[in-house]
Every structure is written in C-alpha cells, then in structure tokens.
Amino acid sequence: MASKILVSVIVPVYNAEPYLEKCLTSICQQTLKDIEIIVINDGSEDQSLTILQKFAQIDARMTIFTNANSGVSKARNVGIDHANGQYVTFVDADDWLELTMLEELYQACKLTGSAIAKCDLFWQAAEGSRSLYYPSNSYCTYSAIDCLHKLFTEIGETHFGFASCKLYKKSFLDFHRLQFDEAMSFAEDTVFLTRAVIQNQSICYVPRQLYYYNVANESSLTKKAMVHLRHNYDVLYKKLLKELQDGEVYAEVKNSFLNYQLEGLLIILHQSATAQEMKYEIQSFLKAYPDVLKVKLMKRKMKQIVFLKLIKNNWLTLSSTLIYLNVKKHQVISRC
C-alpha cells in the first residue's frame, strides 16, 4: 500500500480551530487522490483534535499523531519520520490549497526529474488575495545560487522563504537527513530551504498560485517571534552562514546575504520603542555584523540608500534616527 502513496501531506496543528476545517477540506478534495494526510496535533487546547477526529472518520487517508506542545519544527519532523509517500509537502493548519496543487507539483517533479518543485502563493488577507500575472505556463528551473539570491533579497520572501507551497522527494530528504531545526522558533523554514536547495542544486518552478497563505491569523507564530527579535536574528544568521560556508556557496551569495542582514536590522529598528533604543540597536548590530556596511544594495530603495549613508557617515543623532525611521511600526508579513 505504501508504494501507491504519491504524496504525504504533513500538517502541524496547534489551536487552529477557526481555520482547520477549510484547510483539511482543501487537502481531502485534492485531484491527486493517492495521498496520505499526516496530522500532528501539537498539544492543542481548543477543539482542533475534535475536528481532526471527525475528518479522520470520514477520510481513511488521514493519520493523527498527538504530541505535547513542542513547536512546528518538531511536528514537521514527526511527519517526515512517518511519511510513506514518494514526495512530501507541508501545509500550515491556518492555510489552504487549490484543489490541483498536489497534482500539478507532482507532475512537475516527474516530468523534470527535480527533487523539489514549488509554486507561488496567495497572500490571503482580510481585504482579499493578490493575483499574479504569468506570461508563460512553462516550468522553469532555478539553480541553487538563483534560489538563494531570491531567498535573501525578496521582500516578504514571496517565492522561497516558505517550506510550504513546495513538494520534496522523500528519498532526497532521507538521503541528506534533511529535517527542521527543533531548537529554532524563528525562520526555521529559511534554514531548512537553504540546506535543501544547496543539496539539490535546483528547484523546479511551477508558475501558478496554488497555496493560500493566511496572513490574517492574529495568533500567527510570526507575531510571537517578535519577542527577543535580535536574539532570534543572531541565531538565524549564525546557522545560515554555516550552511552557506559548508555548501561552499557563501562567496557567490555574500552580497545577497548582506542585503538580508540589512533588512533584518530595519525590522529590528521598527520594533524599537524609542530613539535611544534604535540608536543602541544600530550600534550593537554593526558591531556584530560590520560587513553590512559593505553591502551593495540590490533593491536600492531610497530608504535603504539614505539609511546606509547615515550610518556610514556616523550621523546617528537621535533626531536623525527618528526622522529616518519616522517612528512608524513595521508590519512583518513573512512567515518566520
């Protein structure tokens, strides 16, 4: 029976009651039928487990595992360990899928021979979702270097910053022992994807929006990750640097990585409450990451250009910092 399972869908669930039925329905109704649905109830305290049990009674392809609350990385790893499919995908319990997503990504992997295929996602907010324009329906392949450039420079990480909206060959994950870092609660997707694309050297891109990312969920882990933000970034940069160096690609993507660090600094500053805190964060960050001052801006936004000139000229008075940042809070929409 296991050989007939084409895709294992792994769904970590923690207090997802308001969204769970829509998520599971979109999985159960996929046009690709030879799938298994591995749901990890990660210590939910609401009615999530009741909803899961109801779906499991209707659809025999669903298996439920229950853990004490240990985080999304642990839950995903449990799913990987129990997956029997030829391919694996990850779905967050507050998101949902186009009904053809699994079939389209599976066909892309089979036709191209790639161990990883990706599609685009809708940013599903209260005001609706954003549709993209695609001049071609043809598959294309991004090299590992292209993937990393995009991962480190796309604002919001709309293409490559998510473990979801992708299909991974199970034997590829097993061979390279690719799992999520359970010590991380921030940007664990980024570290996983960096390691995966370096090992695979490419990603097959399906130019279709097939995954709905629910940015309206106020209990999202993204918002929780804003606590201890600088520490989280320090951990992230250390792990990413190791992956890039171990994969012998750091020199090729160094400037993109510096752009990524600069964007992290701007996010940290927008979470600061006072001008004094902002000034401290800038000085502390630059002491830890002095190469940021050598960055060649790839997006070349005026705000970034002005900011770099300020800090390079050491013009960091409280008033100039306030004027630059306009003391306006920044809403971070990337899934961390």
Beta bridge partners of 203: 142
Which one of 223, 240, 267 terminates a domain? Answer: 223
For residue range 2-32, what is the model confidence (pLDDT) as tens digits? 459 999 999 999 999 999 999 999 999 999 9
Does residue 145 or residue 317 have the better pLDDT? 145
Neighbours of 192 (CB within 10 A): 22
Say whether both 173 and 34 belong to one domain. Answer: yes
Whether 112 is in a domain gets the answer: yes
Backbone conformation region of residue 214, classed left if phi is above 0, alpha if psi is from -120 to 50, else beta:
beta
Strand 7-13, strand 35-42: pairing? parallel
Whether residue 84 has pLDDT greater than 60: yes
Whether residue 62 has pLDDT greater than 90: yes
Strand 116-124, strand 202-214: pairing? parallel
pLDDT of residue 282: 87
Say whether both 11 and 159 belong to one domain. Answer: yes
Neighbours of 331 (CB within 10 A): 9
SS3 81: helix
Whether 239 is in a domain gets the answer: no
Say whether both 70 and 193 belong to one domain. Answer: yes
Say whether both 127 and 67 belong to one domain. Answer: yes
**Which residue type, as a one-letter code, is found at position 199?**
Q
Q: Please give the distance of CA 248 from its chain centroid, rounded to a whole number.
A: 23
Tracing tokens 């979109």 back to the chain, one arrives at 26
Say whether both 271 and 189 belong to one domain. Answer: no
Whether 241 is in a domain gets the answer: no
Say whether both 215 and 266 belong to one domain. Answer: no
Say whether both 170 and 35 belong to one domain. Answer: yes
Alpha-carbon torsion (190, 194, 197, 199), positive or negative: negative
Beta bridge partners of 123: 213
* Prediction pTM value: 0.88
When pLDDT is averaged across residues 276-298 and rounded to a whole number, the result is 89
- Structure tokens given for 106: 């599976």
When pLDDT is averaged across residues 71-80 and rounded to a whole number, the result is 97
Which one of 206, 223, 240 terminates a domain? Answer: 223
For residue range 203-242, what is the model confidence (pLDDT) as tens digits? 999 999 999 998 876 454 455 555 689 999 999 999 999 9
CATH of residue 216: 3.90.550.10
Say whether both 30 and 140 belong to one domain. Answer: yes
Comparing CA positions, the residue from 235, 205, 215 lying closest to residue 73 is 235
Domain region containing 287: 254-325
Whether 242 is in a domain gets the answer: no
> How many domains, the chain?
2
pLDDT of residue 221: 45
pLDDT of residue 209: 92
Confidence of residue 319 (pLDDT cuts 50, 70, 90): very low
Say whether both 128 and 22 belong to one domain. Answer: yes
Whether 245 is in a domain gets the answer: no
Say whether both 91 and 140 belong to one domain. Answer: yes
Alpha-carbon torsion (172, 173, 174, 177), positive or negative: positive
Say whether both 60 and 123 belong to one domain. Answer: yes
Q: Give the whole-angstrom CA distance, residue 71 versus residue 63.
A: 19
Say whether both 205 and 258 belong to one domain. Answer: no
- Ranges 116-125, 170-179, 312-321, most confident: 170-179
Does residue 228 or residue 84 have the better pLDDT? 84
pLDDT of residue 304: 62
